[in-house]
Amino acid sequence: MANVEMDTIRPSIEMDVIRDNKEEPSSVEAAVGDVTYFKMQSIAERDDAGLRRVGKQPVLKRRFGFMSMLGFSCTILITWEAELMTLGGLFENGGYAGTVYSFIIAWIGILCAFTTMGELASMAPTSGGQYHWVSMLAPPGSRRYLSYLVGWMNVVGWQSAVAGVGFLNASLIQGISALNSTSYSPKPWQATLMFWAVVLVAVFVNTVVSSLLPKVEGLVLILHVLGFFAILIPLVSMGPHGDATDVFTVFVNGGGWPTMGVSFMVGLVATTWNFLGADGAVHMSEEVHNAAVVVPWAIIFSIVLNGALGFGMLLATLFRLGDPDVVFASAAPFMTIFQQAVGANGGANAMIAIIILLAFSALISITAGASRMAWSFARDRGLPGWQYLSKVDSKTSIPIFAVALTATISCLLALINIGSNAAFSDVISLTINGLFTTYLLGNTLLLWRRVTGKIKMDFEVDSDLGNTDCDNLVWGPMRVPEPFGTIVNVIGCVFMIVVLFFSFWPSVNNPTASSMNYSSLMLGATVIFSTVYYFVSARKTYTGPIVEI
C-alpha cells in the first residue's frame, strides 16, 4: 500500500456503512492502519453480533448498503409505474378525484405502517421478518402457532407476488406487440411462455451473477427516477389538457355500489396495491451492512420517494387523460395515453420500454426477496423439505434451492393462466391479503407491547440474547420517540384493518362468477392448510425461530 499521510484519510463512517461490495484489504494494508478497513470491520462485527443476539448465525454475505437497498426497495414498489398500469381499476371506483384522494390516504397509511415495521426490523434484522417478530411479541402460549401461520402467509404472499409480476411482464410485452401490429392477437399460452422466459432471466441474475445484484439495484434506482421524468415531460407537454375541476372534484362510481363512499373504499385497495412489497428489504436484512439502521431507513425513504413520484405521475396522467371512455375501452389504457400524447408509435414505444424494463427489474428484486423469505422459514424448519431449502451455496452465499423453489412455483402457477386468467388472478390475489395479514399482526402485537411498557432500551439489558421471545424485548437503534411512535403505530394498524377488510370485496356490485373476488377463499385455504399441516406434522419440528448459538 502506498504511503499516505494519515490526515488525508478521512472516510465518513456513514459512507462506509452504505458502501456496496467493500472488499477486505490484505493483512499488509490492515497492518499499516487502513482506517476504512477497521471501520468496516467494526460494522461487520456489529452486524454479526446483532444477528447472533436474535439467535442466528451469519451465513449470507453482506453485499448491500443504503443506496443499493434503497434501489432494491424502490424497485419492488415501482409505485409510479404500477399506478400507470392499474389506472383502469383505480378510475373505476373513484374517478378523477377519488384516485387523487385515495392515493394520499394510502401513502400516509403505508408510511405509518412501514415506519412501525422499520422499528421491528431494527429490533430483529433477520430475513424472517414478520414471523420472527410475531414469535418474539406474541404470548408464550400462542407464539409458535401464530408465527408459523404468519410464516406460511408470508411465503405464499411473496410467491404469489413473483407470479403476479412475472405475468405483468408478459402482459406488457404482449401489449406493446399489439400496439405495433394490428394483426397480432395475444394468446394465454403466449403469455405463459413469456412468463417463463422472464422468470428464468430473473433466476439467472439471482444466481449466476448474484454478486452484481447490489450494483444492478443502484442502476435501477437511477433509471427509476430518470424514467419518471422521461415519461412525465412528454406527457405533460404534449398530452391533451384537462380541467382542474374534474381532477379534484369529479368522483366516479363505476362499480355500481350503493354509495360513493363504498366505491371509494374499494378503490382504495387498488391504490394501496401500488405500495405493496416494501417489506422486501426486510427479507434481505442478513445481506445488508448495518442492517438495523439501513433497512428501516431504506424502507421509509423508498415509500417517501415512491409516493412523491407516484403522486406527480398520477396528477400528470389525470390532467392529460383525454377522453376517459376512449382510454379505458382499450386493452392497455396507459399505452393509449402515451400514444395520444406523443402522436406516434415510436415515442410511445420508448415510453413503454421504460415501464417494461423497470417491471422486469422489479421481478428480479421480488424473486430475491421471495427466495430469502422461503429460505429463512425453511431454516427454522417451517417448510416441507427444509433440510434442502435451508442450504446456502458455499461459493455464492445464495440459497440456491430456495431460488429454484420460487421459480418452480411461479412457473407452475403460470400454467393456470392458459386455462383461466380469472383463476390465475384469484391465486395471485393472495399477495395483498396474505402480506397485509402479516403486516397487521406484527404491528398490532408491537402496539400492545409498547403501550404496556414491555420493551426495554438496549442499555437496560445485560444479556447475550434479545428479541427472541417476549421476555427479552429490546428496542433497536431506529425507534420513533413517544408519543409519536404510538400514534404512528395506531394509524398504521387502523389503515391496514380497513384495507384488509375491503380487499375481499369485488370491484363491482352484484358480481358474476367471473368478476367475483375469491381472495377470501384463497386466504382461508392457506390458513386451513397451514393449520392442518402444523398440527399433523410441523409442530414436531417447528418451535419458532431457532436459537442457533
Residue 29 lies in a domain: no
For the segment 324-363, what is each residue's pLDDT rounded down to a tens digit? 988 998 888 999 999 998 887 889 999 999 999 999 999 9
When pLDDT is averaged across residues 220-235 and rounded to a whole number, the result is 96
Task: Provide the Cα torsion 479, 130, 268, 93; round to 10°.
Answer: 170
For the segment 399-418, what is each residue's pLDDT rounded down to a tens digit? 999 999 999 999 999 998 88
172 vs 464, higher pLDDT: 172
Stretch (H or E) spanning 93: strand 93-94
Residue 491 lies in a domain: yes
Q: Which residues contact 326 (CB under 8 A, 6 or more apart)?
A: 336
When pLDDT is averaged across residues 28-49 and rounded to a whole number, the result is 53
User: If you search the block for the grid coordinates 399477495, which residue do you land on?
Assistant: 431
- Pick the range with the lowest mean pLDDT from 35-44, 49-58, 191-200: 35-44
Q: How far is the C-alpha of 82 from the C-alpha of 71, rounded, in Å?
A: 16
Banded pLDDT at 288 (limits 50, 70, 90): very high
For the segment 277-287, what is each residue's pLDDT rounded down to a tens digit? 889 999 999 99
Among residues 304, 284, 375, the alpha carbon closest in space to that of 114 is found at 304
CATH number, position 479: 1.20.1740.10
Please determine, for residue 190, whether its predicted confidence score (pLDDT) is greater than 70.
yes
For the segment 463-500, what is each residue's pLDDT rounded down to a tens digit? 666 777 777 888 999 999 999 999 999 999 999 999 99
Q: How far is the C-alpha of 334 from the C-alpha of 83, rounded, in Å?
A: 9
Task: Provide the Cα torsion 539, 151, 523, 196; round to 10°.
Answer: -120
Residue 84 lies in a domain: yes
Residue 97 lies in a domain: yes
User: How many of the other CB atoms lie within 10 Å of CB of 128?
Assistant: 29
User: If you search the block for the grid coordinates 396522467, which residue do you land on?
Assistant: 317
Predicted pLDDT of residue 549: 74
Per-chain mean pLDDT for the chain:
88
- Pick the range with the lowest mean pLDDT from 67-81, 436-450, 519-533: 519-533
Predicted pLDDT of residue 464: 63
When pLDDT is averaged across residues 451-472 and rounded to a whole number, the result is 73
Q: Is 103 exposed, middle or buried (0-12, 13-18, 19+ CB in 10 A)?
A: buried
Long-range (24+ apart) CB contacts under 8 A made by 182-187 are none
Please determine, for residue 23, whether its predicted confidence score (pLDDT) is greater than 90.
no
When pLDDT is averaged across residues 518-538 and rounded to a whole number, the result is 91
User: If you search the block for the grid coordinates 387502523, which residue do you land on?
Assistant: 494
Residue 339 lies in a domain: yes
Residue 31 lies in a domain: no
Q: Could you tell me the residue range of the domain that residue 160 belongs to?
A: 67-540
- Pick the range with the lowest mean pLDDT from 97-101, 119-123, 289-293, 509-513: 509-513
CB 306 within 8 A of CB 74: yes
Residue 546 lies in a domain: no
CB 545 within 8 A of CB 131: yes
Residue 549 lies in a domain: no
User: How many of the other CB atoms lie within 10 Å of CB of 41?
Assistant: 13
Look at strands 93-94 and 252-253 and give their pairing.
Answer: antiparallel
How many domains does the chain contain in total? 1
Angle between helices 430-451 and 143-180 (to 10 degrees): 140
Residue at 222: amino acid letter: I
